[in-house]
Structure 1
């Protein structure tokens, strides 16, 4: 994931939000293999990003910010819906006749989700936590992302406990699948 070790968690997540927005634009505007690869990159980024938020950021926000329960529950609901739709879009494939319409709806939902985090959750965390804690949280997010699944797994749920128990074994499966896919791409002509 992007970022430097001196970033705090909010700076790190904002950089990732911009990467997500850029990948959404690529999926909307590209065709063929470039579109497929951009969608796969978006899928991976969203999967690890949301897993890390569910393990590290949301539990802290729930405890520390004003109206934390309400804010986090709304974000988890949005993330659950996005996982379901991402999984279905992945199964459909970028060449399916319904993909672009369904992707447009998902992209709008992802943008609203990011905007809600940026306007409700992140300012509360910045207000309530010392800078040192925010920087340590960035390290925890990076660690969570390193072992996070690279595909959405809606059945796993959104709780931090579920992500920590199910995430690493599922992540191994996802990363092996990714390695085979990437190997296959580079060895087509061999």
Structure 2
């Protein structure tokens, strides 16, 4: 019988990083309504992913990794810049003449950020945090994602506390907007 290890938080985040990279490629290659829908999927995944990382992963890294404060502060700075760029792209829309150029710049920044996390933060978490805690963190990450905003809100802050206080009310608003948008599209296609 093979030993099946439960998915830990690092495994989950690595999967999401791969989904994000794939979505950047798909958005770049798409056109029209498909491009808009794929971009909305990308926005949602990035917003939920970063919010949950800020609530669950970064606080653990701060307390368990040598130099954790500096490491996490660097990642939070990158995340804040990405939130602003993503918000600007969202407001701009996929049909804007500068969209593809700005999307490409954002993709490069987000991929560089993910690489920093994978090579620095995630490796050190695996070395310093017990495996059973990393598995429990995966559950906490999924719970945080369930109440996370579905759009970037650069003005809401990047700390775990800011995400826990502002995230759920903003998430409700985002999810209502998403539902109304989707309903409107499905009822206007007739």
TMscore range, shorter length: over 0.9
Per the normalisation by structure 1, the TM-score is 0.96
Residues 115-151 of structure 1 show CA distances to partners (whole Å, capped at 9, x for unaligned) of: 0000000001000011100000000000000000000
| Partner Cα distance (1:187, 1:140) in 2 | 37
- Partners of 1:98 and 1:185 lie apart in 2 by 25
> Within 2, Cα distance between the matches of 1:78 and 1:32?
30
* Number of residue-to-residue matches in the alignment: 186
Larger displacement relative to structure 2 (152-161 or 176-185): 176-185
* CA separation of 1:67 and 1:87: change in aligned 2, threshold 3 A: same
Partner of 1:133: 133
User: Offset at 1:19?
Assistant: 0.5
Match for residue 186 of structure 2?
Answer: 186
Question: Could you say which residue in structure 1 is the equivalent of 2:43?
Answer: 43
Task: Give the TM-score normalised by the residue count of structure 2.
Answer: 0.96
Question: Aligned partners of 1:8 and 1:178: how far apart in 2?
Answer: 30
> Residues 69-119 of structure 1, C-alpha deviation per residue, up to 9 Å, x if partnerless?
111111000000000000000000010011111111100000000000000
Tell me by how many angstroms 1:27 deviates.
1.0
Cα distance between partner residues in 1 of 2:56 and 2:179: 27
Q: Which is further off, 168-177 or 66-75?
A: 66-75
Q: CA deviation at 1:158?
A: 0.4
Q: Deviations over 1:46-73 (max 9, x none)?
A: 0000000000000100110121111111
Instruction: Name the residue aligned to 1:29.
Output: 29
What is the 5 A alignment of 1:158-169?
158-169=158-169
Structure 1 window deviating more from structure 2 (146-155 vs 175-184): it is: 175-184
- Name which of structure 1's ranges 179-188 and 16-25 shifts more when overlaid on structure 2: 179-188
Deviation at 1:181, TM superposition (A): 1.1
Report the aligned-residue RMSD. 1.1
SS at 1:187's partner residue? helix
- Aligned counterpart, 2:98: 98
Partner of 1:173: 173
